[in-house]
A = this chain, B = another copy of it.
Amino acid sequence: LADLLPAMDGDTKTMTFLQEVVDILLAYIVESFDRETKVVDFHYPNELLQMNNWELQDEPATLDDILISCRATLKYAIKTAHPRYFNQLSTGLDMVGLAADWLTSTANTNMFTYEVAPVFVLLEYVTLKKMREIIGWSDGRGDGIFSPGGAISNMYAMLLARFKMFPEVKEKGMSSVPRLAAFTSEHSHFSIKKGAAALGIGTESVICIKADESGKLIPADLERRILEGFVPFFVSATAGTTVYGAFDPLIAISDICKKYNVWMHVDGAWGGSLLMSRRHRWKLDGVERANSVTWNPHKMMSVPLQCSALLVREEGLMQNCNQMHACYLFQQDKHYDLSYDTGDKALQCGRHVDIFKLWLMWRAKVGKSSLFEAIQHHCNLKSSSLYLPQPCFPQNIPRSGAFSPCSFCVFTQPQHTNVCFWYLPPGIRYMEDKEERKKHLHKVAPVIKARMMEYGTTMVSYQPQGDKVNFFRMVISNPAATFEDIDFLIEEIERLGQDL
């Protein structure tokens, strides 16, 4: 280890070491895409803790130990690139994105100033402008920042909305502000409430608006609740809800926001990437009327984790809201155009370079062809496999696959690539007592998921929602997935659950 750079003449030893690591990584990548490999070699936490020497020792390891640790870490990792990994909204591994992330690590710098990250700061500038153009803001004007995830982007939006209405809150805090109210659908992401708790607004000030059966916010209910009293300052519409993949009606919501002079935010963390699709972007019609938009390229666009943008329509607001003028970082007597020192817009001081992987993938993939096609590919997979136009429980499901009729039930019309469904094992398929059946059904998904992880063949998520007991939520955002992989998932669920 002492022979690696910066040691004198450490070049050769360093190249050899890094190349050995790269060889391990390349082998892992090839394996990850191989359907013969397991998605996970699962072990319970206490087991896994004992299976390898993970504890930190007082004696330094050798270079060989380090390589062994790398292999062990990958052995027990989840293969998120695997074509049969359907577990999260972010799946897959893009090769250009990966190369860009390796370069980012090697450049090892910080986004706060042009001084230390000239290229990355420019690429962020160029890319944010393009994203704003795509949203539909004229000439791509506005502002924005890449943040560590959609939850933080949403929190930024709420922070900006409050500051816009009550700029004195920055100095004087919430005691200078009347009782506020924020509004979001009952299907929205939990980060809206987390943000309100953190910002001192309080979760009780987040009013949950009713959603219809498909998961879309009901505008009439929004207007009714806005009229109830407290000062409305923030509406967060969701473009692509986490569970159902529903798109709130942005145009109707924006009319209400305009009428009551409320900041309109669109949480497009999941669905925002449909703006890149000619065929699907209508689902976000009205997004150009928003004051701010969250859009996570690390989800549907398959950019490596993390890559989340907040786009803001008003220029200068982020800077005014968050700046503290730290004179050791944002010196005002520098010799270049200070508008490129973007760090004071953020709550973070140091900020990881998340832009390069998006920028490089955009260069590689956007155009008449592939990035559009990738999203198209995801949407096609969704629509032709488990698609059902109507809630059907417990009707038959018309589908050509191998599983038996009535064993699966897709209960909302998919609007995005989320497909939510129950598996009905033979034992409860014809139960007559509805409550009894629900009770049993609730336990089915967790058992199948546990078995699935132990077999390690595929992974899919499940959860309850409102009055709906535990159901599976298959999400397609992995460019490696095919129809056959989805069939595999379905058959695996049936195989693992037929005795339940």
With a cutoff of 8 Å between Cβ atoms, the chain B residues found around residue A363 in the complex are 56-57, 60-61, 65-66, 69
With a cutoff of 8 Å between Cβ atoms, the chain B residues found around residue A195 in the complex are 347
Do A348 and B148 contact each other (CB < 8 Å), given the known contacts A66-B96, A98-B105? yes
Partner of A99, one of B44, B70, B171: B70
Distance A298 CA – B22 CA, assembled complex (angstroms): 23
Partner of A200, one of B73, B121, B152, B201: B201
Distance A66 CA – B44 CA, assembled complex (angstroms): 42
Chain B, Cβ-Cβ closest to A63? B364
In residues 137-169 of chain A, which contact B (Cβ within 8 Å)? 148-152, 155, 159, 162, 169
Partner of A48, one of B44, B119, B170, B453: B119
User: Is A151's CB under 8 angstroms from B347's CB?
Assistant: yes
Of A77-85, A252-260, A383-391, which binds chain B? A77-85
Chain B, Cβ-Cβ closest to A56? B130
Of A13-21, A398-406, A432-440, which binds chain B? A13-21
With a cutoff of 8 Å between Cβ atoms, the chain B residues found around residue A204 in the complex are 171-173
User: Is A118's CB under 8 angstroms from B48's CB?
Assistant: yes
**Nearest CB of B to A436, in Å:** 18
Q: A337 contacts the other chain (Cβ, under 8 Å)?
A: yes
User: Is B328's CB under 8 angstroms from A109's CB?
Assistant: no
User: Is B30's CB under 8 angstroms from A473's CB?
Assistant: no
Distance A51 CA – B479 CA, assembled complex (angstroms): 34
User: Is A446's CB under 8 angstroms from B331's CB?
Assistant: yes
User: Is A198's CB under 8 angstroms from B77's CB?
Assistant: no
Q: A359 contacts the other chain (Cβ, under 8 Å)?
A: yes
User: Is A200's CB under 8 angstroms from B200's CB?
Assistant: yes
User: Is A336's CB under 8 angstroms from B45's CB?
Assistant: yes
**Nearest CB of B to A63, in Å:** 8
User: Is A172's CB under 8 angstroms from B202's CB?
Assistant: yes
Q: A319 contacts the other chain (Cβ, under 8 Å)?
A: no
User: Is A331's CB under 8 angstroms from B462's CB?
Assistant: yes
Distance A306 CA – B473 CA, assembled complex (angstroms): 33
Q: A488 contacts the other chain (Cβ, under 8 Å)?
A: no
Q: A283 contacts the other chain (Cβ, under 8 Å)?
A: no
With a cutoff of 8 Å between Cβ atoms, the chain B residues found around residue A203 in the complex are 170-171, 324
With a cutoff of 8 Å between Cβ atoms, the chain B residues found around residue A326 in the complex are 189-190, 242
Chain B, Cβ-Cβ closest to A306? B352
Partner of A21, one of B44, B65, B102: B102
Q: A217 contacts the other chain (Cβ, under 8 Å)?
A: no
User: Is B170's CB under 8 angstroms from A202's CB?
Assistant: yes
**Nearest CB of B to A200, in Å:** 3
**Nearest CB of B to A364, in Å:** 5
User: Is A30's CB under 8 angstroms from B1's CB?
Assistant: no
With a cutoff of 8 Å between Cβ atoms, the chain B residues found around residue A464 in the complex are 327
Q: A289 contacts the other chain (Cβ, under 8 Å)?
A: no
Q: A197 contacts the other chain (Cβ, under 8 Å)?
A: yes
User: Is B11's CB under 8 angstroms from A30's CB?
Assistant: yes
**Nearest CB of B to A90, in Å:** 7
Partner of A105, one of B117, B152, B176, B304: B304
Distance A60 CA – B363 CA, assembled complex (angstroms): 6
User: Is B148's CB under 8 angstroms from A305's CB?
Assistant: no
Distance A308 CA – B400 CA, assembled complex (angstroms): 51
Do A44 and B337 contact each other (CB < 8 Å), given the known contacts A197-B322, A461-B328? yes
